[in-house]
Chain A
Amino acid sequence: MIVSVYHYMVLSAILFSLGTIGVLTRRNAIVVFMCIELMLNAVNLTFIALSSYLGNMDGQIFVFFIMTVAAAEAAVGLALMITFYRNRESIDVEDFSLLKL
């Protein structure tokens, strides 16, 4: 079987959907964040596959930026989770209850 750009696109679409479903259904904030990372990596896969398909480097450069930003986001996000955990002793998203909707 020849692996074409469509296979990569379908794979990354599946990964992105899995990430989205995870964000919407999981309750532990760290798992939610991991699902967001999965979404970002699905985007990275899309960019690299398209970049190779189009013969254009822009997509690969974009991936570097996404990885850098994801690392910075992880640093801030985990710090926020630690401060929340210190006060609430939980990182369950169901416990984000002080501010009603």
Chain B
Amino acid sequence: MENMVQTAMQNVNFAAIMPSLVLTCFCLALLLLNAFVKRGSTSYAAFFSLVALGATACVSYLAWDNPQFGFAGQVALDNYAVFFNFIFILAAALSILMSDAYLKREGYPVGEYYTLILFSTVGAMLMASGTDMMTIFLGLEVMSIALYVLAGFFRRQLRSNEAGLKYFLLGAFSTGFLLYGIALIYGVTGTTNVADIGSYLAMNHHLVSDPILVGGMILLATGFLFKIAIVPFHMWTPDVYEGAPTPIAAFMSAGPKAAAFAAFMRVFLIGLGSMHSTWVGMLWVLAVLTMIVGNFIAIKQTNLKRMLAYSSIAHAGYALVGLVASNAVGVSAVLFYMLAYTLMNIGAFSILVLAGKVGEDNLTLQGFAGFGYKRPVLAVLFTICLFSLMGIPPSAGFTGKFFIFAGALNAGYVWLAVIGVLNSAVSLYYYLRVMVYMYFRSPEEEFDWVQLKPGATLCAVISVVGVLVLGIVPGAVMALARHALF
């Protein structure tokens, strides 16, 4: 973190927002296209979205090692932002791959769905590259507003309505806290620019314990931690994941969570870096609470979407450990972990998409009894994703957790690492139980409704290959993550 963000005071530099700009143009084109194509066919929209994401990935890649700054220090497309852009693009692309057949099965073949995913990705990219509270706030809202709609997308299904409305009310509530925090920090430092806040606090160190600043920091953290689903701001997660369309639950657990982490780390390490001793204790406690609550409540779940929701809470806790360590190893491990988590979690969700019946009432432990005999290939893919979520080598989940706990040990947080490892052991119980049902229970159903739809199958295969590659040769990606730090 020696090379902090340098705020070049150029006013307009479109290269700095090029990925968001390109994706927005594609989004608008897709919206227009939707108006002219007959209802009911959405495969073209999925294909178009994948092309859009591919183009955005290419444009993002151009900025690797070629950082662009612009708009009076509002935006910085540095390596850090590019790395996260790739995570968002990957999450969006994998979710879109599994969506097409799913939407048709559930009876909502609507092209706007893809536009909303892409808009949400635009917001996530703005959040990762925002170096001013204004940009970060706007990115957060562009991302969230699209997600509110997506969570409630199945408008004739009460469960989805409820998920959308709950997410909306709690999301807007947390935005209020985030904004009040920004306002108080603005009052103390006189700026909303992250780097300027950082240098102001470094020069005026006596302000660090100012109650208004500390209050603002806590409120700001509340806003971010809500999006990341850290205990005690996690209550919405299981309900929203269970009620939302499954590909959207997969997307929400990967892309937006990584985006919130990206902005959170930029603001807290650069902007509020001088207050490290104030916030690190708070985050230590929250990380421990999150891991414990997430893992222990997941044990009780029988619905697999809900179980994965609690597991996603626990995984946010592991990632927070890397931020608590706040050294180069820990922070780059968070970047790596976000990528690994994207792959393993979306992989697991894609199996749920493939195995679900219409209405998805069979996505329970009992519903998976004997799945391993009837559908051996899918069961193996699912097993690999679950092994990775547990953190068993050679998988991305293992290497990710290894780097994170190594970071915590390097920073001297021995107990935090110990608690993290013990929690991983607890998580074995509920992940292994799924496998017990799949392989050691006699099948009650024929699983004849399971069709290997190309999109979702491709999504599962890509995820599993990614999980194994990151698990067996993590060095290259870890080097990129290290290189991406600010």
Contacts and interface: CB of A to CB of B under 8 A. Distances in A.
The answer on A and B forming one complex is yes
B184 interface: yes
B186 A32 contact: no
Contacts of B162: 84, 96, 98-99
B241 to A, nearest CB: 10
B164 interface: yes
Contacts of A19: 176
A36 B177 CA distance: 10
Given A76-B149, A98-B158, A99-B163, A16 B180 contact: yes
A58 B164 contact: no
Interface string A88-99: 100001001011
B231 to A, nearest CB: 13
B121 interface: no
Nearest to A56: B190
Interface residues of B, number: 41
B173 A36 contact: yes
Nearest to A32: B169
B168 A80 contact: yes
B395 to A, nearest CB: 31
B297 to A, nearest CB: 10
B48 to A, nearest CB: 24
Contact of B161 (A20, A36, A87): A87
A87 B158 CA distance: 6
B183 A50 contact: yes
B176 A40 contact: yes
Nearest to B135: A65
A77 B173 contact: no
Contact of B183 (A23, A32, A47): A47
Nearest to A45: B183
A10 interface: no
A52 to B, nearest CB: 11
B179 to A, nearest CB: 4
Interface stretch (B83-91, B137-145, B366-374, B463-471): B137-145
A72 B187 CA distance: 26
Contacts of A32: 169
Contacts of B347: none
Interface string B63-94: 00000000000000000000000000000000
Given A40-B179, A80-B165, A65 B155 contact: no
B192 interface: yes
Interface string A26-55: 000100110010011011001100100110
Given A29-B169, A42-B180, A46-B184, A76 B239 contact: no
Nearest to B192: A58
Contacts of A59: 183, 186, 192
B214 to A, nearest CB: 15
Given A40-B179, A83-B155, A46 B148 contact: no
Contacts of A98: 158-159, 162, 243
B180 A73 contact: no
Interface of A: 9, 16, 19-20, 23, 29, 32-33, 36, 39-40, 42-43, 46-47, 50, 53-54, 56, 58-59, 61-62, 65-66, 69, 72-73, 76-77, 79-81, 83-84, 86-88, 93, 96, 98-99, 101
A-B interface, 3 closest residue pairs, ranked by CB to CB distance from nearest: A39-B176, A99-B239, A46-B183
